[in-house]
Amino acid sequence: MSYQDTIAYLDSFINYEKKPRYPYKESFKLERIKEFLGRIGNPHDGLRYIHVAGTKGKGSVCALTAYMLRQMGYRVGLYTSPHLSDVRERIRVLQPDAGARDDDFEGMISEDDLTRLIARLRPEIAAHAAESAYGQLSFFEVYTALAFLYFREQSVDYAVLETGLGGRLDATNVVQPLIVAITSISYDHMNKLGNSLADIAAEKAGIIKSGSLVISAPQKSSARAVIRARCAQLGARLYEVGTDITYKTVSSSPAGQEFTISGVYGSFEHTYIPLLGEHQGINAAVALGLVLGVLRETHKPVPMDAVLAGLRRIRWPGRCEIVSEHPCIILDGAHNEASAATLGQTIRHMFPGGRIILVLGVSKDKDVSGIGKHLIPLAKQCVVTKADNPRALATSDVIRRLTEHRAGALFVQTQCVADALNVALRSAREDDTIVVTGSLFIVGEARQLLTKKAR
């Protein structure tokens, strides 16, 4: 198989990230991935896992956790989704002796390794499809099995896993983790996970296992009650950011921000991360809780300088990422109302009084009005576009759903991200700010175009 053959083969599997609607409980079956993993020798067994679920911030928490552990001298597997530009971004191994690196996706699986492992799995996938009573594997299930196989092959010390959707039925939920995190829960994927925060929280909290150590971000009362009840039921110890672990913003700038984080695992001053938005302080507190919880529970030393250095070196593209300065261009995959509110707050804080040009594209299953409510009033111009993805909502429908929030913003309709960026750049003065948002699909396409221009 060539690498192109490998990508074409992966694309042949049903990919729920590209489908706006499907029967969730009928489509997601843990029995199917468990059966397949058994067929290939259960490569997930024996690894040490840190498992993260939530609506907002779970990818950031995973990346922050992985960078801290790597800086302490561990080889760390990192499994995240979706990807921005290259499917290989999802599977990464951070090496402890990598030195100073500026790779956006350091340690991602090579084209050769991806091709080799898929060639190895392909006969087993075909046999499973012919024999399984649970149906054919999905893209995410195949890729999750591939991640387990690669992490075992690479002998990682820790594997940090981000759930794909929900948690309870997610393919990553076959592992027995050392520690679990539940990041901020808000309304998203309601047609699959439930129409209340309690229902959504129950799906996310499904990754909590008997005896787990659990770190939770601050939650709305209904979600917090579900998480607490799940922990009590399973005898899991729960530490909550906001009570057991606290954070305070010391300073912030377009380059990053500094926090003081303290609580059950001690106090950390001058905690700096090169990520924007107060929500990243919460994510840093959750990640710090994960790292300290894992190491102290297993009686391993915690070199504080390495903890802080790991946070300083984090790279997590597409999340309040500034990719240009004149004009300033910010990329952020705010995909629901809560994420849009956070992005709006960051824009108001970091760029008060400046002209904002919004480049916005939204998926069909998202709350367009909720997103627009927090972002459109900030914008002088809104360039509406759509991603090259079957889930993308038609631009005419986006504009129709944003009518109530139009205020004084000028709306421009485009049919692809490249055209939208051209419109925004032609309109922008050097001191303006262009914000590209609405979904990670939009951000991924924009980032690829903008970084090519920069080179």
Task: Give me the residue label for tokens 């992985």.
Answer: 66
User: Long-range contacts of range 253-261, CB-CB < 8 Å, 24 or more positions apart?
Assistant: 254/322, 254/328, 254/350, 257/281, 259/284, 259/285, 261/285, 261/288
Cα distance between the two ends of the chain: 31
365 vs 359: CA distance, rounded Å: 19
When the pLDDT of each residue in the chain is averaged and rounded to a whole number, the result is 92
Query: Could you tell me the residue ranges of all domains in the chain?
Result: 3-312, 321-454
The pLDDT tens digits of the residues spanning 289-304 come to: 999 999 988 888 888 8
- Dmax (CA) of the chain: 62
Q: Please write the tens of the pLDDT for every residue from 99-112.
A: 666 688 999 999 99
Alpha helices in 218-361 (DSSP H): 221-234, 279-297, 304-312, 337-350
With a cut of 50, say whether residue 86 has pLDDT above it.
Answer: yes
pLDDT at 58 exceeding the cut of 50: yes
Q: Higher confidence at residue 170 or residue 454?
A: 170
**Rg (the chain; Cα; Å):** 21
3-state helix, strand, coil in the chain (%, to 5): 45, 20, 35
So what's the pLDDT on residue 455? 47
CATH 3.40.50.300 given to domain 3-312: no
Task: Please name the residue that has the structure tokens 């024996």.
Answer: 46
pTM assigned to the model: 0.94
Contacts for 398 with CB less than 8 Å, ≥ 6 apart = 360, 361, 362, 368, 384, 386
- The CA-based dihedral angle spanning residues 42, 45, 50, 55, taken in that order and rounded to the nearest 10 degrees: 30
pLDDT confidence of residue 192: 64
Tens of pLDDT, residue by residue over 376-409, are 999 999 999 999 999 899 999 999 988 777 767 7
pLDDT per residue as tens digits for the range 297-333: 888 888 889 999 999 999 999 999 999 988 999 999 8
Joined together, the tokens standing for residue 20 give 């706006």
CATH classification code of 321-454: 3.90.190.20
